Amino acid sequence: MGTLRLKPKDNGLSEQRYEDLLEALKEALKLMKKNRVFYDLAPEEGSHQTRKDFLYIAKKEQLPIYARKIRNTNSLEFFYQQETVVSYVRLSPEAYRTRIVSVLEDSGRPMQKSEIIERGGLKEATWNLRVKELVDRGIVLRQGERRHAVYMLSNFC
């Protein structure tokens, strides 16, 4: 049986590390207005733990920022954290396609299926059909296959 606590567990961040990462987040927010922002990890830094530390600090300091690991590199990329639309009403095919395009326009960058579905408040059930229609019409481009596919508006290429 577990035990009750009155304080949350210590996350293991030293005060100095917390301040350093917080400063990096604040600087990233300033630069993000016009640029894509990356954080190159030092060889001794683990990408998984550093990302968790950044997300912990961003949440605690209420900074609208999200970090993700870039595959096959020792880098993280920062994004503005956008609020998720949570309206799961039944959409017409045209409304579903329009919402996909809107999410891609708002992000201004290639996105994975899961990101588009989450930010658009879309149901996954008709994703394949609707995105195929957009790809066939030349409105959306798909790069990669299966889990590694990303989608973007054709005018971003």
Query: Which sequence spans correspond to the domains of the chain?
Result: 15-80, 93-156
User: Taking the alpha carbons of 102, 105, 108, 110 in that order, is the dihedral positive or negative?
Assistant: positive
Amino acid letter, residue 110:
P
Q: How far is CA 126 from CA 43, 92, 97, 149, in A?
A: 43, 11, 10, 17
Q: How confident is the model at residue 65 (pLDDT cuts 50, 70, 90)?
A: confident
pLDDT of residue 125: 83
Residue 114 host element (H or E)? helix 113-120
CATH of 93-156, one of 1.10.10.10, 3.40.630.30, 3.40.50.2300, 1.20.58.220: 1.10.10.10
Q: What is the pLDDT of residue 157?
A: 45
Phi then psi for residue 8, to 5 deg, are -65, 160
pTM over 0.85: no
What are residue 16's phi and psi, to 5 degrees?
-65, -45
Q: For residue 79, what are the contacts with CB-CB under 8 A and spacing of at least 6? A: 32, 65, 66, 67, 68
pLDDT at 153: 92
